[in-house]
């Protein structure tokens, strides 16, 4: 069993669907700004990084997903759950992110997976010409 660490944070920038800049309350009036990468989900890219997308349509879909996320968490207080000192190869903290709607905390990572926002799922839909809809 992994020990998870919970922190309150404010989302100050949404870089894309799965990467955010947050201001984390570490307690004792210590606030730290850092980049966070979502655990368990890899959304389509928003820029044309060589080798990181299969279809041109992924880029606008990635931008739509990024906007969908902005509408939910930008400027809002969230809770992150992370393993101590767990980060990716770019130094971003890896975490599950929760945001509040009408008094209920929602796991954003799981919500995005449930909506099919993962890059692999999007690519499979594009491959089979399935219509992709990003909810408002």
**What is the tens place of the pLDDT at every residue in 74-98?**
999 999 998 766 778 888 889 999 9
Q: Could you tell me if residue 132 is inside a domain?
A: no
Q: Could you tell me if residue 33 is inside a domain?
A: yes
What is the phi/psi pair of residue 24, to 5°? Answer: -100, 130
Count the domains in the chain: 1
For position 38, which CATH number holds? Answer: 2.40.50.90
Q: Could you tell me if residue 18 is inside a domain?
A: yes
* Percent above pLDDT 70 for the chain: 95
Q: Residue 50, Cα to own-chain centre: how many angstroms? A: 21
What is the phi/psi pair of residue 78, to 5°? Answer: -130, 170
pLDDT digits (tens, 9 = 90+) for 2-25: 667 889 999 999 999 999 999 998
Q: Based on C-alpha coordinates, what's the Rg of the chain?
A: 15
Q: Could you tell me if residue 134 is inside a domain?
A: no
Pick from 54-58, 83-87, 113-117 the range whose average pLDDT is largest.
113-117
Q: Could you tell me if residue 62 is inside a domain?
A: yes
DSSP per position, 41-75: --PPPSS--TTS-SSTTHHHHHHHHHHHHHHHHTT
Q: Could you tell me if residue 25 is inside a domain?
A: yes
Q: pTM here?
A: 0.88
| Residues forming beta bridges with residue 95, ordered by sequence position | 38, 82
Range of the structural domain that residue 93 is part of: 5-127
């Amino acid at each position: 069993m992994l020990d998870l660490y919970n922190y309150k944070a404010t989302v100050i920038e949404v870089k894309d669907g799965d990467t955010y800049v947050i201001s984390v309350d570490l307690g004792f009036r210590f606030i730290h700004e850092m980049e966070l990468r979502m655990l368990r989900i890899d959304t389509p890219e928003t820029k044309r990084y060589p080798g990181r997308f299969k279809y041109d349509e992924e880029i606008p879909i990635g931008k739509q997903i990024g906007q969908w996320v902005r509408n939910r968490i930008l400027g809002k207080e969230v809770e992150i759950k992370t393993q101590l000192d767990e980060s990716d190869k770019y130094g971003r903290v890896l975490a599950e992110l929760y945001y509040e709607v009408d008094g209920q905390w929602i796991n954003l990572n799981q919500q995005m997976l449930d909506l099919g926002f993962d890059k692999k799922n999007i690519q499979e839909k594009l491959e089979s010409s399935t219509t992709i809809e990003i909810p408002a």
